[in-house]
Amino acid sequence: MTVLARAASRYLLPLFLLMAIAPSAQGAEVLASWNEGEAKQSIVRFVESVSKEGSADFVPVPERIAVFDNDGTLWGEQPMYFQLLFALDRVKALAPQHPEWNTQDPFASLLKGDVKAALAGGEHAILEVVMAAHSGMTTDEFEKIVRDWFASAKHPKTGKPYTEMIYQPMLELLDYLRANGFKTFIASGGGIEFVRVFSEQVYGIPPEQVIGSSGKMKFELKGDQMVLNKLPEVDFIDDKAGKPVAIQKHIGRRPIAAFGNSDGDLQMLQWTCSGPGPHFCLYVHHTDGEREWAYDRQSSIGRLDKGLDAAADSGWTVVDMEKDWNRVFAFEK
């Protein structure tokens, strides 16, 4: 191959490929699992308006920041948060090392198989379980434990691996945004180290673009290795009013698009859609009790009450899962 030919293959081929994929990246047809309707149209209108040069709402690529909640927005969260299910399994595995748990709730109830009683203590009980399952190890050890759990754990209703409990329409939305110059971030109330284990493989979102709740860590020498040990102490809770704070700390830019499903995401959407210039906020409303779960104002998990009212008052897009999505999960026929 001549020097000229090599240069052509190096520089012109990527250009041809970009030209070939550009029409699909700009069209609504890329959102194949979305039914035609106002929800889909509102997404496309916004993306086209901010990505088309010469548009009155054009936004430069570096400012095209989109943030997504994880639980209930990108993947399922019923019958309970998947990270909590991991923590429950982890406590059972650690029980032989903690005989005191046999008489100490919430652990005693959990080890007897009474999850409802174990979690009756509310947030305090959940925090105890999560801290026990997420500390006393290095960050590398934790990552391996999480990966091993994902390799074998199955969802109690569908029997599918948790990494297949991803909403196909939201995967398409992530791809659509990135194809139009957006940088996509996760802003989860779940643990940052937990979500980072699978975010790139499942969502195409690298670990450095994941924001979440965190425990404290300590830099130590372990043998001849420098490690970060996970401590049984809370560092930051990335939920409700904590989300805008964490977004500012991690990203340093106000997003122009935000996507959530619960009242825990309300402040993130408010922060995004109160900024200057064009912006877009969307709630996923769980209305499909057949293909998924139907819940909103009265749910103890993923409650969407104040958020529904705010969306109506502010003109945000609300996705009706039953009506707006022709497919929820990729494994559906």
d(C-alpha 266, C-alpha 32), whole Å: 28
**Bridge partner list, 138:** 229
Residue 25: predicted pLDDT: 52
Residue 17: predicted pLDDT: 37
**Bridge partner list, 119:** none
| Segments in the chain below pLDDT 70 | 1-28
- Per the listing, tokens 């959102």 go with 31
Task: HSE, CB side, 13 Å, CA atoms: give it for residue 321.
Answer: 25
d(C-alpha 261, C-alpha 264), whole Å: 8
Please give the span between the terminal C-alpha atoms of the chain, in angstroms, as a whole number: 47
Q: Which H or E run contains 39?
A: helix 38-51
pLDDT digits (tens, 9 = 90+) for 214-265: 999 999 999 999 999 999 999 999 999 999 999 999 999 999 999 999 999 9
| CA distances for 209 relative to 25, 104, 108, angstroms | 22, 38, 38
d(C-alpha 20, C-alpha 228), whole Å: 46
Q: Is the dihedral of CA 307, 310, 316, 317 positive or negative?
A: positive
DSSP letters, 250-262, are: HT-S--SEEEESS
Residue 9: predicted pLDDT: 43
Locate 17 and state its tokens.
């490929």
Under 8 Å between Cβ of 268 and 247: yes
Locate 25 and state its tokens.
């990246």
Under 8 Å between Cβ of 192 and 238: yes
Q: Is the dihedral of CA 168, 261, 42, 241 positive or negative?
A: negative
The pTM assigned to this predicted structure is 0.91
**Sequence letter at residue 67:** V
Residue 119: predicted pLDDT: 87
Domain ranges of the chain: 38-49+60-76+137-324, 81-133
Residue 284: predicted pLDDT: 98
User: Residue 182 gets which letter from DSSP?
Assistant: P
What is the C-alpha radius of gyration for the chain, rounded to an integer number of angstroms? 22
Residue 29: predicted pLDDT: 73
d(C-alpha 161, C-alpha 149), whole Å: 10
Residue 28: predicted pLDDT: 54
Residues 6+ apart with CB under 8 A from 281: 257, 258, 259, 269, 272, 273, 311, 314, 316, 317
Residue 6: predicted pLDDT: 43
Residue 163: predicted pLDDT: 97
Record: fold of 38-49+60-76+137-324: Rossmann fold (3.40.50)
Under 8 Å between Cβ of 228 and 205: no
**Sequence letter at residue 326:** N
